[in-house]
Structure 1
Amino acid sequence: MTVADHRGRLSALATRLRVLSAGLALWCLGLLGFGLYLQHVVGHEPCPMCIVQRYALIGVALLAALAAALPGRAVRVGLIAGAALVAGFGAFVAARQSWLQWFPPDIQTCGRDFYGMIEAFPLKRAIPMIFRGSGDCTAIDWTWLGLTIANWSFLNFVAMAAVCLALLVAAVRRRS
């Protein structure tokens, strides 16, 4: 293989990595759009855990879009690694919400919304309250194929993390 052939293969791989990163960002935007549709058209109000998952989607979308747009392999690898971590965090929150839906607490409370918690309590007290969930987080308002929004969110976050890890492996292999 000549040097020109090697450079051409590396350039093609870099282009594929950028396209996949952009696709990941669009995937997140599609999920965010569907969440907004469920909220504003169907009328399902998001619970605090749903809002945290939205922020995780925004984080993955921004990191993936930056990875697609910015030059430099090291920058791209760092951004995709960050997106994998944020997707893992989103999967954790979605798994916790799924658990709350499967095994609701004995005492149902309405609780405050996410913004109300942040405004009324110090952050170190509000964050555990958000993840503890409330009656709203245990509500199952919508299902498709027998899975709730939280279940679908978990599956999507796991798939996003897997895509990020595959991109990282491809970038590392490209280096060697």
Structure 2
Amino acid sequence: MSAIAETNQLFENPRLIPAAIVAVCVGALGSALASEYWGGLDPCVLCIYQRYAYVGAMTLGLIGLVLAPRGKALKAVILLAGLAFLTGAGIAMFHVGVEQHWWRGTEACHAPAIDFNAPIAEMREQLLAKQPATCDTIPWSFAGISIAGFNVIASLLFAGGCVWAARRVTES
């Protein structure tokens, strides 16, 4: 079977595109949670914000499964999922800039300061409390690309895929 025939077959079943969006999001969120809980990579606040984009796209994919037979509505949902991926790419690009020290992150990106005027017992509690990860440290990278950098690439590809798929959905 040729690649064109396989591509056309994809668009004959309108549920496949939103199902693919959901699958991509489940995979991305699953790998993020696996790296956190099994890999020991604590997420910073910008990492969490990037997950929200996937949750939004996944929600739209689920809505698309319900709207699958409706061409214009399905096309709109797919385009909105693409916009969610594009938003995630923007957050990830901002995160890469913070990691590279091109600009400062949000206030939530920095670990809370220790109050050195507090009593010793309170300072001890502050030091022993688990500190959130800071956004400007790179906990893992491959070939010089951080997790946020890979997310930029993936999110842009997913957004482009949504635009490509929406253009090919038949309006009925």
Instruction: Assess, with a 3 A threshold, how the Cα gap between structure 1 residues 161 and 147 changes in structure 2: closer, same or farther.
Output: same
- Report the Cα distance in structure 1 between the residues aligned to 2:20 and 2:104, rounded to whole angstroms: 42
* Residue number in structure 1 paired with 2:166: 168
**Equivalences for residues 106-121 of structure 1 within 5 A:** 109-111=110-112
The reply on whether 1:44 has 2:41 as its aligned counterpart is yes
Q: Which amino acid aligns with 1:82?
A: L
Flag the structure with larger Rg.
2
- Report the Cα distance in structure 1 between the residues aligned to 2:135 and 2:10, rounded to whole angstroms: 45
Q: Which is richer in helix?
A: 1
Instruction: Assess, with a 3 A threshold, how the Cα gap between structure 1 residues 111 and 67 changes in structure 2: closer, same or farther.
Output: farther
CA RMSD in angstroms, aligned pairs only: 2.8
Gaps of 5+ in 1: 1-9, 113-133
**Equivalences for residues 6-155 of structure 1 within 5 A:** 13-15=11-13, 17-70=14-67, 71-103=69-101, 109-111=110-112, 136-155=134-153
Tell me if structure 1 keeps the 8 A contact 2:97–2:103: no
Alignment coverage as a number of residue pairs = 143
* Residue number in structure 1 paired with 2:118: none
- Report the Cα distance in structure 1 between the residues aligned to 2:87 and 2:26, rounded to whole angstroms: 18
Q: Which amino acid aligns with 2:161?
A: V
Q: TM-score normalized by structure 1?
A: 0.71
Instruction: Assess, with a 3 A threshold, how the Cα gap between structure 1 residues 170 and 42 changes in structure 2: closer, same or farther.
Output: same
Give the C-alpha shift of residue 100 in structure 1: 1.0
* Cα deviation code 1:33-61 (max 9, x no counterpart): 11101111122111111111111111111
